[in-house]
Structures are given as C-alpha cells and as structure tokens.
Amino acid sequence: MKLARFGAPGAEKPALVDADGMLRDLSSAIADINPAALSDASLAKIAAIDAKALPVVSGPVRLGPPVAQTGKIVCIGLNYTDHAKETGLSIPEEPVVFLKGCRPSGPNDDIRLPKDAQKADWEVELAIVIGKRALYVGKEDALSYVAGYCTFNDFTERSYQMERGGQWTKGKSFPGFAPIGPWLVTRDEVADPGSLHLWLDVNGKRHQDGNTKNFIFDVPTVISYLSQFIELEPGDIIATGTPAGVGLGHKPEPVFVKAGDVIELGIEGLGAQRQQILPWSS
C-alpha cells in the first residue's frame, strides 16, 4: 500500500495510491496519516478500504511529507561501503548516529539555500518510518516495528557540517533540508529493504547509482542498535545513509549545488523526487 498526503503546506489531506497509480482522497476515512495511523491494526483498516470508492484527486497537486506529526529524524552516517571509501574514512565498527533538526518537507518542494551557503550537497537515502514504540528491540523482531519506507534526500551544507565544529547536525538541519516521499510504502510491499536500487541526478547528470546491498549495517541492525539508546516512537524517521556519489566525494574536485540547479532522485519501488535549488531570500 502506498500512502501520501496532498495540499498546501500545513493543510495536507491523506491519500492513497490505487493499483492504477491514481491518487485517491482518504480524508473521508481517516483524519490524517499521523502516528496513530501507523500501527499494524490501523494500516490493516486502511488497506481494507475499497480504493475505487474514494474520490480521485484531480489536477496538479502538491505532495507533502507522507507522514504528519513526525517526531524525530535520526540519521545513520557512513553506512555504505563505497561512500565510506570515497570520504577516506574507515569503515565504522558501530553505526554513526546524528539527528536532523528540521521538519520533513514535500518530495518536490524547492530547497532554499542558507544565506551563506558554500557547499550544498545531496544524499539519496532509504528512510524507515517507525510504526510502534521501540526500545531494546532484537534484530530478529526489528522489521515488525516498521510501518513503511520512503525515499529521502538528506540535504546538507558541508561547510556547516565539517568546518564549524561540533556535530554533523549543524549541516543537516536548515529548513527544507529533509525532502521525503512521494509516498510511504508499507513494509508488506518491500520484500527486502536490503536490496533496493537508489539513484540521484543533478541537472540531468547521474551522480549516485547505488544499492542497499552495500549497507554496512542493515535495516534490522540499525533499528535494534538505535533502540538501545533512543526510544523510537510511531512517526519517527530513520535515514539509513547514502551510497557513493555525493558532491563532496567528487574527484578531482568536489562539486556542490547552487541556485538554479535541479536535483532528481529515487528508490526502486518507493518513488522519485525533484527539487529546484533557490537562493536565500528573507
């Protein structure tokens, strides 16, 4: 099942994508795709709805983040063997964890750069959406805590991340730096989150072309590991890291995005995104 939200920012309505790829308005059946809607029981009730009986959403519409009232965005760094190598850093012995301090944005919303941006960069990632409270979860049970998966762009200002001291969170948290969607794909439709093709283009040129087969720490390991330190709650997002091909790793010189550039990215079965980069404007 694919769940989405559409409409103006802050006024989105819930929707599902039917078998023919049509967006159907779910607002007559549920208030929103919020943490309460992400339990196994709630998702089963939504799945039982006759999609053909729901009104089609017609005309061009903005897609918002597929989950409302997101709590935390927890990120895993250096989680692909090829990305760790391109950064020149050692393969981590334990997951590298940081937080992203901005709200999720729609998959096709513009990204406005900070006013002093110097090294804006892209990262296509598989995102996990948590469906129930998770604390001290074993790897063998970890996938049962997943509501679904999304495409995610962990957009980053590298100068903030790496040259301003402190934690990576500084470079990850400017408004608009967390595009997610276009939809939430429930876990029953993702047979193996450890075998998904990911890609990202900038201005039509392919920069990232990877696969979650190259995870250092797979999805069950990540969930289990995080649950030792953080109480994961319904609606929380875990961004699982990015494959090789980020601008920072470009040889012989890094390549960063600027105003006017267009980023397109996607994950097999999870949908694609498109963002235009805009300059700072107060």
d(CA 45, CA 47): 5
CATH number of 73-278: 3.90.850.10
**All structural domains of the chain with their residue ranges:** 2-53, 73-278
Main-chain dihedrals φ then ψ at residue 200, nearest 5 degrees: -155, 135
Give the model's pLDDT for residue 65: 98
Parts of the chain with a pLDDT under 70: none
Q: Torsion over CA of 163, 167, 202 and 241, rounded to 10 degrees?
A: 140
Tell me the pairing of strands 156-157 and 96-99. Answer: unpaired
Q: Hey, which residues does 180 pair with through a beta bridge?
A: 152
Query: How high is the pLDDT of residue 114?
Result: 96
pLDDT for position 51: 95
pLDDT at 84: 74
pLDDT score recorded for residue 33: 98
* pLDDT at residue 70 in the model: 94
Pairing assessment for the beta strands 205-211 and 156-157 based on DSSP bridges: unpaired
- The C-alpha atoms of residue 136 and residue 270 are separated, in whole angstroms, by 28
